[in-house]
């Protein structure tokens, strides 16, 4: 298993995993363990991979054909996300919150997520490996990473609190959903980095 930045050749694998765990297409069996709600076009995904270097994957290398993508997480500066209504809302409210005793400044932060790990490798450390590899990728550019977790997604809440060591900064609502706003300093990647 390898944790690395995605290339354009990984796009189909990322899309397949996203389809498997997206709210609109997930199976009834998988739904209780959480789902992804963010949709992304091929053009946006290609930009995220190539321009933002914002897709980190965990993959099973293959000698014949593309590597098998078993997990991914997305991350990018807010400018990338601003056309998604939920992220636009987050951009508006973030300056109202404090983190580590200081009021948040949007330009010091970027947005991570969605994150997705195939059921076959959950609970193996794959989540942490992916999380801290992505955090490390942005360490030079931003001091703070922010994300949202839907309050009904208890597995994701537990993983982000207990395994990723993220801090719950506050809560907010958008549409009919209730979210936690979570944050972490990007230099935590040095302390907690895990290799798989
Ligand atoms: C969220 C996700 C990335 C976490 O990765 P993971 O490999 O499942 O995480 P882990 O198993 O290492 O950690 C999850 C923890 O939550 C616990 N957990 C599971 N169900 C839970 C529940 N209903 N309530 C509270 N905790 C729960 C697990 O027991 C585990 O803790 P433990 O290792 O101490 O037992 C993965 O489950 C996933 O891809 N889910 C589908 C997509 C998703 O929801 N993405 C996040 C939203 S963008």
What pLDDT shows up at residue 65?
Answer: 86
* Residue 76 Cα to ligand 1 middle (Å): 23
Q: How confident is the model at residue 192 (pLDDT cuts 50, 70, 90)?
A: confident
Q: Is the CB of 155 under 6 A from ligand 1?
A: yes
What pLDDT shows up at residue 196?
Answer: 56
d(CA 150, CA 181) in angstroms, rounded, equals 9
Tens of pLDDT along 164-176?
999 999 999 999 9
Q: Is 121 helix (H, G, I), strand (E, B) or coil?
A: helix
User: Domain with 22 in it: what CATH number?
Assistant: 3.40.630.30
Tens of pLDDT along 1-52?
999 999 999 999 999 999 999 999 999 999 999 999 999 999 999 999 999 9
Counted domains in the chain? 1
Q: pTM here? A: 0.95
Q: Is the CB of 113 under 6 A from ligand 1?
A: yes
Under 8 Å between Cβ of 10 and 69: yes
Helices within 126-194 (DSSP H only): 126-137, 154-158, 188-192
DSSP category for residue 162: I
Among 149, 143, 139, 133, CA closest to 36:
149
Structural domain that includes position 63? 2-192
């Amino acid at each position: 298993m390898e944790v690395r930045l995605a290339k354009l050749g990984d796009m189909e694998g990322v899309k397949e995993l996203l389809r498997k765990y997206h709210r609109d297409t997930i199976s009834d069996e998988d739904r209780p363990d959480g789902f992804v709600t963010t949709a992304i076009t091929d053009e946006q995904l290609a930009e995220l991979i190539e321009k933002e270097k914002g897709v980190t994957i965990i993959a099973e290398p293959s000698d014949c054909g593309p590597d098998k993508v078993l997990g991914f997480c997305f991350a990018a500066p807010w400018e990338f996300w601003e056309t998604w209504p939920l992220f636009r809302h987050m951009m508006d409210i973030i300056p109202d919150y404090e983190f580590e005793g200081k009021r948040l400044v949007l330009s010091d932060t970027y947005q991570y997520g969605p994150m997705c790990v195939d059921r076959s490798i959950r609970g193996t450390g794959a989540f942490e490996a992916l999380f801290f590899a992505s955090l490390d990728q942005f360490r030079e550019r931003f001091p703070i990473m922010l994300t949202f977790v839907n309050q009904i997604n208890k597995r994701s809440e537990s993983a982000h609190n207990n395994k990723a060591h993220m801090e719950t900064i506050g809560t907010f609502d958008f549409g009919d959903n209730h979210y936690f706003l979570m944050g972490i300093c990007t230099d935590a990647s040095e302390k907690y980095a895990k290799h798989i």
